[in-house]
Every structure is written in C-alpha cells, then in structure tokens.
Structure 1
Amino acid sequence: MRNLILSVALAGAALSAFPAAAQTTGAPFTGLRIEGVAGYDALKDGHGSSDGLVYGGGVGYDVQLNNLVVGAEGELTGSTTDTRTDNFVSQGDRFRVGMGRDVYLGARVGFPLNPTTLAYAKGGYTNARIDTRYTSGTTEVRDHTDLDGFRLGAGLEHQMGANTYIKGEYRYSNYGRANGSVGSYDIDADRHQIVAGVGMRF
C-alpha cells in the first residue's frame, strides 16, 4: 500500500511541474468532461490475489466554486486480471476466473493547487463482475457473479490546454456482497488500482 501511494505522489509531482500548453482562464475545472483511463489492477480475497491491467473510460461534470471543485462522475472499465487452474477437477480440465466489467458511480471534491493543477478525492459505488469458465474436453460452462462495494480514491489532474487534461489516480475498492447464480452472500475482496488518464472538457 505504501508503494502504491508513493507512486501516485511521484506522478502527481511530475504533473504539477509540467507546463500547460495554453493558459486557462476563468474556472478551468468547470464543465462536462470525458476521459480514457488505463493502469494497474490488483484484486485480493480470502483465496489469493491476482493482478493485470485495467482500461476504460468515464464521464463527469464539475463545478468550480472559488477554491473548491465539486463534481459527479461515472466510469466503465474492463480488466485483464484473472487466474487459471489446470486439472481443477480432472486431468486436462481448466477453471478460469477473470475480472469483467466494472461500473462506478460517485462524486469528487477537489482543491486547485495552481491555475492548471487540481488535487482531488473521490468516493462512490462500484459494481464489478467476475466471469468464470470451466472447460473439460469439448464441454464448456460459463457463469458470472456481480460484486457490490464502495470505492475511495485520490489523484491529480493537470490542464494541458483550454480543453484537455491528463491525470494520475489511485483508488481502493472493497466488495462486501456477491450476487450470482447460487444466490447472494457476503464476501471481503479488496481491489487496488493505479491509473493514468487523458480527457477533454467541454
């Protein structure tokens, strides 16, 4: 965890030092925005851990009120994070568990560090899907389970011009409830992500 936070801090320092391509005026952190994100993804539960890459996009709307920025946002991502177990039940079979789509809805609050750089914290609801696939010979069985939880995060956003920005962000998600074909049950799964993003504001 310490290394993850340190990585975000270093990335943020680099963003703060990066000069803006064009000087923004007025309230640069106000308006509708869209962005693409990609980065590192790690999931850990009581059965072990796995990691991979997260990728996707988001949309949000922010309002700058003097030295405070508030906004709402949503995001849809996918992930390469998965585990595979050979000879799971019998010789030659395979069981795969992979992270599928992830839907996030939440809000953020930020403080401009200077006219082009915003530090922010975020939080909200996340619903992640776990896809499972069991293969034995020519037989294949697929299923999925949806996980409900919350997400907390922090990051830095840097304006590159009047309408474009880059950002670096760390977020932590905890899933406490699973809903699948066998019913609903309690779980405890943690997810850590470090992402970079490129966006446009309208």
Structure 2
Amino acid sequence: MGPKLNGTFGAYAGVDFASTDYCTELFGHDEACLKAGRNITVGARVGYMIGSDALFYGKGGYSNGRVKLAYEDFDNVIDDIDEGENLDGFHVGAGAEVQLSASTYAKIEYVYSKYDAFDYSDTDVEVDLDLNRHQVLLGLGLRF
C-alpha cells in the first residue's frame, strides 16, 4: 500500500478592506482618483495533507469589490464626479499551511481576483477600466 493522502474540503466567506487609491493631477490642479474599498468573498477550498503537518490547497469563488471614482475640477469647468460601484467577479488562489504546534500554524497564500469592468460616462468624461487584484498573505493562526 502507498502513502495515505488526507484530503480536506470546506467553504469560506470573508470581508476585507483596502485603502488603495491612485490619484493624479489633470489639467492644472484638477485631481482624479480611483479608490478600492471593501471586498467580499465566498468560496470553497480543497486541500491535501502531505505528511502529518503540511496542507497544500487551492481555492476559488465569488468576489464583490467596491470601487470609487472621484474627480475634482478646481476651475469649475465641468461638474465634479463622485461615483462608486460594486463590481462582481471571481477569485482563484493556492496556499500552504504548516502545523507549528498542536494549536498553531503558519500559512502563505496567493489569490488573484478579476472583476467586471468599471464603466462611467457623462457628457464630459468617459472611463472604462478592467480591474484585477493580486494578493499575497502571510499569516500565523490559532486553532481552538
């Protein structure tokens, strides 16, 4: 008989928040900003134990991210913009957990998220963006 591989399967849900923003000056002192907000995830994770203390896994599911577009025209030539939208998408990732003691573990994880396009248009401005996110997580955990 060969070595035994122990598999795991589970669901997860999470909410995280970002302070990511990109701002730039346009046309003198006018400022345009694109900001990332909260991100909601729901998905499933499948993993396999290698030996007695290492778990390797893949995960994937639904993502919903918040994005905000702001434009401030200091010369009042066009109207200011302050628009936000929730964008649906998906995420996929992989990671590993290593048991450190009976109740603690360390983990590393990479997740890629892809969202629907963000489109905004009025008489003065047109924005069409394809958005994605790359995330690396290093963590210590406690099981109880």
Unaligned residue ranges in structure 1 (runs of 5+):
1-65
* Preserved CA contact (<8 Å) 1:150 1:175: yes
1:71 aligned to 10, 15, 34, which one?
10
Aligned residues: 132
What's the RMSD between the two structures over aligned residues? 2.8
2:50 aligned residue: 113
2:61 aligned residue: 124
* Preserved CA contact (<8 Å) 1:146 1:180: no
Unaligned residue ranges in structure 2 (runs of 5+):
123-127
Name which one, 1 or 2, has greater alpha-carbon Rg.
2
Q: Percent of aligned positions with the same letter in both sequences? A: 39
* Structure 1 or 2: more helix by fraction: 1
1:198 aligned to 124, 140, 143, which one?
140
2:125 aligned residue: none
> Structure 1 residues 124 and 159, CA, compared in 2 at 3 Å: closer, same or farther?
same
> Structure 2-normalised TM-score?
0.77
* Preserved CA contact (<8 Å) 1:145 1:180: no
Q: Give matches, 1:17-32, under 5 Å.
A: none
> Structure 1 residues 164 and 111, CA, compared in 2 at 3 Å: closer, same or farther?
same
State the distance in 1 between where 2:129 and 2:31 align.
24
> Structure 1-normalised TM-score?
0.57
1:161 aligned residue: 101
1:92 and 2:29 correspond: yes
* Preserved CA contact (<8 Å) 1:106 1:125: yes
2:70 aligned residue: 133
* Preserved CA contact (<8 Å) 2:116 2:130: yes
Deviation per CA, 1:13-39, whole angstroms, max 9, x where unpaired? xxxxxxxxxxxxxxxxxxxxxxxxxxx
Question: SS of the counterpart of 2:116?
Answer: strand
